[in-house]
Amino acid sequence: MSDGITDSYKYGWRQETILKKPESCPTNCPTVNVRPSWDYIWSNFAKSISQRSCDTKYKVGAVIVTLDNTQVLAIGYNGDEKGGPNRRFSQEKDCSGFIHAEVNALLKCDFNFPKDKKMYITLSPCIMCAKAIINSDIKHIIYINKYDDEGIALLRNYGIKVTQYNKDS
């Protein structure tokens, strides 16, 4: 039975094939297998996680994965402490009173895990989150939207690779 995406089951696991013709291709051009990049997958996962935030101004999500993209190690979103009121203190920048998504993800991550890690974030980190990331030994930060140049600069000064995700690249 086909669900429209699954072509077959092979060797006991689900085999998916997504077929698409390149736009510039003539009608007799063969279809090609198109798969989303890991950056696309994890960036969209961070966006989905951000929807858990009760912040009315910034909904931020973070996902920590292994550098080889084989495991999700932790997730986080900006919000209050457990059982907190989930209300923003102020509408001013840097005054939400919420624990930032990056810190929430870092608090949940097992740093005894031997593989190198990277973090996907919906907003570039503030200076305080950048300091926490530096202390956590994460190797690569991928953010979707720019929020703070200071945090990016500090991370780069410590040799951490920082990339703005571009869905078109």
The total of structural domains in the chain comes to 1
The overall pTM is greater than 0.85? no
Element (H, E) at 41: helix 38-50
Gap between the Cα atoms of 83 and 90, Å rounded:
19
φ and ψ at residue 149, rounded to 5 degrees: -70, -30
Q: What is the domain-level CATH number for residue 71?
A: 3.40.140.10
Q: Residue 43, Cβ neighbours under 10 Å: how many?
A: 23
pLDDT in tens, the chain (169 residues): 333 433 333 333 344 445 555 666 666 666 666 889 999 999 999 999 999 999 888 899 999 999 999 999 999 999 988 888 877 766 666 667 788 999 999 999 988 887 899 999 999 999 999 999 999 989 999 999 999 899 999 999 999 999 999 876 5
Whether residue 60 lies inside any domain: the answer is yes
Residue-range definition of the domain harbouring residue 89: 36-164
Q: Distance between alpha carbon 66 and the CA centroid of its chain, in Å? A: 12
Active site residue 102: yes
Say which of 16, 81, 92, 102 is annotated catalytic.
Answer: 102
Let me know the angle formed at the C-alpha of 121 by 117 and 125, rounded to the nearest 5 degrees: 95
Q: Is 23 within a domain?
A: no
Kindly state whether residue 1 falls inside one of the protein's structural domains.
no
**Residue 56: inside a domain:** yes
* Within-domain flag for 141: yes
